[in-house]
């Protein structure tokens, strides 16, 4: 068989055709790999946990890989709407108001005051209606409000209020996100008792059950005093138990209330991004409740190695977390972490994120030396990162 030699011109033409075919294939493969690298590596429903520190440098370096100021989508400056908790006022956000402008230059901050003094008497949905009118009025002079990110931030009951408000704003064309800080997305187990008497009796029974039998008679007065102090401690965020438990705004916080089912349904349909920030008292921190309550055990109790402080902490966890099979027994001295994360409610949303700020409590000064989650620098850093998503 003889082979016909080909001319240089024909050879060049064949090579050119091969290159025309190879280049698109090469580019397609390259773009495929580049696209994989560009995907967001932050997965929904992945918990991050931080330990609060008074050293601000610990959180200023949190976004070293990113800019030190907020660079939101399309460089639109966000609008923050801040809603306080039950029985509180807008002044609870003093720390956020001072820190957010440093991280988010040019941001518009709205301190909600429309339901101050009404958080007990109005249901949460009625409060949301008041906030809706307030928001509409506040942004009426912002011509590009619907082009800006709207970050609704609520503390405690306020987180439920803005969660009820968010679907209304989303329907109106606003780009809404929700941040709940110490928010009872599944209710407050503390409110499961019929009245303060039953709450106090529960605490007394629990304390007596862990007290050595030989000491019960001699420690009766001390245990009764401890129960009284513990009741006052757990209700300081809500108010007088027998009065507030009948109020609409508090009844909505009770476990199994229909409000939570309605809220979950609305949020799941709207698919609004949600960040749940929980506070948690770290078990490594020594909290001496017996000293806080001014209780000193007699020498005979010490002879039996009876540790009243450990008993008080265990009973406190039982009261706040409730009788649940949930493995997470942490709390912020008012609400369990699983409720603050909405583990059985909002966690089912696609755009859901959660974070725990360790060593923080529901409100600053609950326990001497421990910061409130709302006043933690890590909370500001988390809000900044969430706004960027």
Extract the tokens encoding 227: 């129960």
Show the domain range for 277.
Answer: 48-188+254-283+330-388
Backbone angles phi and psi of 289, in degrees to 5: -65, -35
206/300 same-domain check:
yes
169 within a domain of the structure (yes/no): yes
Computed over every residue of the chain, the mean pLDDT equals: 81
pLDDT for 349: 76
Q: Residue 42: helix, strand or coil by DSSP?
A: coil
For residues 244 and 73, the model is more confident at: 244
Identify the band that residue 15 occupies on the pLDDT scale cut at 50, 70 and 90: low
Number of alpha helices (DSSP H) and beta strands (DSSP E) in the chain = 15, 9
Is residue 17 pLDDT above 80, yes or no?
no
> How much is the pLDDT for 79?
96
Distance of CA 42 to the CA centre of its chain: 18
Question: 100 vs 19, which has greater pLDDT?
Answer: 100
Spatial distance between the Cα atoms of 308 and 296, rounded to a whole number of angstroms: 9
Same-domain pairing of 147 and 87: yes
Provide the residue count of the chain.
389
Same domain, 165 and 298: no
What is the model's pLDDT at position 9? 52
249 found inside a domain: no
First to last CA, the chain: 68
Residue 348, token pair as written in the block: 């089912």
Say if residue 127 is in the same domain as residue 261.
Answer: yes
What is the structure's pLDDT at 344? 84
| Residue predicted with more confidence, 269 or 96 | 96
Query: How far, CA to CA in Å, does 337 sit from each of 231, 286, 389?
Result: 20, 19, 24
Q: Are 78 and 104 in contact (CB under 8 A)?
A: yes
DSSP helix/strand/coil, 324: coil
| Number of domains making up the chain | 2
Helix (H, G, I), strand (E, B) or coil at 357: strand
Asked whether residue 98 falls in the same domain as residue 208, the answer is: no
Shared domain check, 57 and 98: yes
CATH number reported for the structural domain that contains residue 277 in this entry: 3.40.50.1820
User: Mean pLDDT, to the nearest integer, of 161-165?
Assistant: 98
Domain co-membership, 304 together with 378: no
18 domain-assigned: no
The two structure tokens encoding residue 133? 């009118």
The CA distance from 177 to 339, in Å, is: 19
Residue 118 pLDDT level (bands cut at 50, 70, 90): very high
Q: Specify the range with the lowest mean pLDDT, choosing from 160-174, 204-218, 243-257, 273-287.
A: 204-218
Burial class (CB in 10 A: 0-12, 13-18, 19+), 97: middle
Instruction: Say yes or no to pLDDT of 228 above 70.
Output: yes
pLDDT tens figures, 33-46: 444 443 343 434 44
Q: Is the pLDDT of residue 60 over 60?
A: no
pLDDT score recorded for residue 19: 56
Q: Say whether pLDDT at 186 is over 70.
A: yes
Whether 91 and 237 share a structural domain: no
Q: What angle do CA 266, 267, 270 make, to 5 degrees?
A: 90
Q: What integer pLDDT is reported at residue 100 of this predicted model?
A: 94
Q: Dihedrals φ, ψ of 264, to 5°?
A: -60, -40
> Tell me, what's the pLDDT at 235?
84
371: left (phi over 0), alpha (psi -120 to 50) or beta: beta
Residue 2 pLDDT greater than 50, yes or no: no
Asked if residue 240 and residue 158 are part of one domain, the reply reads no
In a domain, 212, yes or no: yes
Residue 96: is its pLDDT beyond 50?
yes
In tens, the pLDDT along 332-362 reads 999 999 999 998 888 877 789 999 999 999 9
The residue that leads in pLDDT, 81 or 21, is 81
Provide the pLDDT for residue 348: 77
Same domain, 298 and 361: no
The answer to whether 372 touches 363, Cβ cutoff 8 Å, is yes
Note the pLDDT of residue 337.
95
User: Are residues 165 and 80 part of one domain?
Assistant: yes
What DSSP line would sit under 45-108, residue for residue?
A: T--EEEE--S-THHHHTTTTTS-SS---GGGPPPEEEEE--TT--GGGGHHHHHHHHHHSTT-E
The burial class, CB within 10 Å (0-12 / 13-18 / 19+), for 239 is middle
In percent, the amount of the chain with pLDDT more than 90 equals: 49
């Amino acid at each position: 068989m003889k082979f016909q030699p080909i001319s240089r011109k024909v050879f060049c033409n064949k090579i050119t055709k091969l290159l025309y075919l190879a280049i698109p294939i090469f580019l397609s493969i390259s773009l495929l790999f580049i696209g994989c690298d560009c995907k967001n590596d932050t997965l929904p429903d992945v918990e991050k946990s931080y330990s609060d520190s008074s050293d601000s440098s610990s959180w200023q370096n949190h976004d070293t890989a990113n800019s030190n100021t907020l660079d939101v989508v399309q460089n639109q400056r966000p609008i923050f709407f801040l809603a306080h908790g039950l029985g509180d006022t807008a002044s609870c956000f003093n720390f956020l108001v001072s820190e957010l402008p440093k991280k988010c230059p040019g941001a518009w901050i709205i301190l909600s005051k429309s339901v101050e003094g009404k958080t007990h008497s109005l249901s949460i949905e009625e409060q949301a209606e008041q906030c809706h009118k307030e928001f509409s009025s506040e942004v009426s002079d912002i011509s590009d409000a619907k082009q800006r990110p709207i970050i609704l931030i609520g503390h405690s009951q306020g987180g439920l209020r803005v969660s009820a408000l968010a679907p209304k704003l989303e329907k109106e064309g606003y780009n809404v996100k929700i941040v709940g800080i110490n928010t009872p997305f599944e209710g407050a187990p503390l409110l499961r008792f019929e009245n303060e008497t039953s709450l106090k009796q529960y605490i007394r029974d629990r304390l007596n059950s862990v007290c050595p039998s030989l000491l019960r008679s001699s420690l009766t007065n001390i245990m009764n005093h401890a129960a009284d102090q513990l009741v006052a401690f757990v209700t300081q965020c809500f108010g007088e138990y027998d009065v507030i438990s009948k109020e609409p705004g508090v009844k909505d916080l009770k476990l199994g209330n229909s409000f939570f089912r309605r809220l979950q349904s609305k949020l799941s349909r709207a698919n609004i991004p949600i960040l749940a920030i929980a506070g948690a008292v770290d078990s490594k921190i020594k909290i001496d409740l017996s000293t806080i309550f001014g209780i000193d055990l007699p020498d005979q109790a010490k002879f039996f190695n009876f540790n009243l402080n450990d008993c008080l902490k265990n009973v406190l966890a039982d009261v706040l977390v409730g009788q649940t099979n949930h493995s997470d027994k942490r709390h912020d001295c008012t609400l369990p972490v699983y409720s603050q994360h909405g583990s059985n409610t909002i966690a089912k949303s696609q755009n859901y994120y959660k974070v725990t700020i360790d060593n923080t409590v529901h409100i600053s000064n609950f326990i001497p030396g421990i910061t409130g989650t709302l006043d933690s620098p890590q909370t500001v850093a988390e809000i900044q990162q969430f706004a960027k998503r």
